[in-house]
Amino acid sequence: MLGYLLRRLGTAVAVLWAAYTAGFVVLWLLPGDPISTMASGGLDGEPLTPAAIEALKARYGFDQPLIVQYGTRLWAAVQGDLGASIQTGRPVGSAIAEALPPTIQIALGGLLVAVVLGTGTAVAATSTRLRWLRQLLMALPSLAVSLPVFWVGLMLVQIFSFGLGVLPSVGAGGFSALVLPSVTLGLPMGALVAQVLAKSLTTALDEPYVQTARAKGVGRGAIHLRHALQNAAIPALTVLGYVAGNLLAGTVVVETVFTRPGLGRLTVQAVGVQDIPMVQGIVLFASLVFVGVNLLVDLVYPVLDPRIARGVPAAA
C-alpha cells in the first residue's frame, strides 16, 4: 500500500513539474512580451522611457537568459512563490487564493449537479424496461454536450430570471444566486458522467454475480443500486479528475455569463492584459487540482476494489 502511494505521489509531482514547464514554454518563449505592451503605453499608461523599460525588465527578471529565468521561477514556484502580477503588482498566489472562494462554491454546486444528474440518468436509463424511455435517456447526454455552455447559461437566465423571475441573473449573493451557475457548469460534466456510468452499468448488469443475486431472490432495485452500481462506479470515478479540472476551467465562461467574481473572471482579465505570471499561476493551479483529484481517486480505488492495493490485476 505504501509503495502504491509513493508511486502515485511521484507521478503527481512529475506531472506538475511538466505542466509548469509547458506553461513556461508557451508563455515565455512565444513572441508576446508584456514589457513591450507596457512600454508602448498599450494598456492605459504613458509610453515609457528606455531607462524605465530596463528597470522594469530587471524587476521582472526579463533581462536574464531564459534558462536562468526558468530556473529561478521554478525554484520560487516550488517554495510557493508564483511571482507578481504584471497588471497589479500583487503576488499571484494571494490573488488566486482571494478569487477562489466564490469559484469553489459554484464548482461544488456544479459537481453536485453533475453527479446527481449523471447518476440519475444512467441508473434510470439502465433500469427502465420501456424501450423509448431508455433511448431518450441515452440520447440526452450527447445532446447536452452539443450545446455551447455560455449559451445554456444565457438561456437559463432568460427563462428563470427574466421570464419567470424566480432566480437572480447576476452577482454572488446568497444561495439562490448559485443555482443557475451551478447547473450551467454541471450540465456538460453530468453528461460525461452519465455516458461513462451507463456504459459500465450495462456491463456490470451482465455479470454472473447479478444472475446469482437474482437467483437468490434479491430484488431488481437492490441489485441495481447495491451490487451493480458499486462495481460500475470505478470507471466513473476515473473521469472525476477530468471533471474537476473542467469544472474549474468552465468557470471562465460561466463567471463571465453570470458576472460573478472568481478565478474564471481573474483568468479572463489576466488574458486580456497579457498578465503572463498570473496566467501561468492559474494554469499551474488547474493542473494542481487535476493531479490532486486524481491522487485522491487513486487512494479511493483500493477501498472500492481491494485487488488494486494488493497488486492483483483486476479481472477484465
In 3-state terms, what secondary structure has residue 50?
helix
Q: How far is the CB of 248 from another protein (least distance, A)?
A: 7
Task: For another protein, give the closer residue by CB, 61 or 219.
Answer: 61
Q: By C-alpha distance, which of 242, 237, 234, 236 is closest to 306?
A: 234
Percent of residues in the chain assigned helix, strand, coil, to nearest 5: 75, 0, 25
Q: How far is the CB of 209 from another protein (least distance, A)?
A: 30
Q: Counting Cβ atoms within 10 Å, is residue 171 exposed (0-12), middle (13-18) or buried (19+)?
A: exposed
Task: For another protein, give the closer residue by CB, 121 or 169.
Answer: 169
CA distances to 140, 150, 187 from 146, rounded to whole Å, are 10, 12, 11
Task: For another protein, give the closer residue by CB, 227 or 241.
Answer: 241
In 3-state terms, what secondary structure has residue 316?
coil
Q: How far is the CB of 162 from another protein (least distance, A)?
A: 5
C-alpha cell at 54: 530596463
Task: For another protein, give the closer residue by CB, 41 or 42.
Answer: 42
Q: How far is the CB of 107 from another protein (least distance, A)?
A: 12
Q: How far is the CB of 241 from another protein (least distance, A)?
A: 9
Task: For another protein, give the closer residue by CB, 275 or 298.
Answer: 275
Task: For another protein, give the closer residue by CB, 52 or 133.
Answer: 133
The overall longest dimension of the chain from CA atoms, in Å, is 85
Reported for 167-174, long-range contacts at CB under 8 A and 24+ positions apart, including other chains, are 169/258, 170/258, 170/259, 170/260, 171/258, 171/259, 171/260, 172/102, 172/105, 172/260, 172/261, 172/262
Task: For another protein, give the closer residue by CB, 182 or 294.
Answer: 294
CA dist 248 and 264 (Å) reads 8
Q: How far is the CB of 310 from another protein (least distance, A)?
A: 26
Q: How far is the CB of 239 from another protein (least distance, A)?
A: 12
Q: Counting Cβ atoms within 10 Å, is residue 256 exposed (0-12), middle (13-18) or buried (19+)?
A: middle
Contact set with another protein (CB under 8 A): 15, 18-19, 22-23, 26-27, 30-32, 142-143, 146-151, 154-155, 157-158, 162, 245-246, 248-250, 252-253, 256-257, 267-268, 270-272, 274-276, 279-280, 282-283, 286-287, 290-291
CA dist 178 and 193 (Å) reads 21
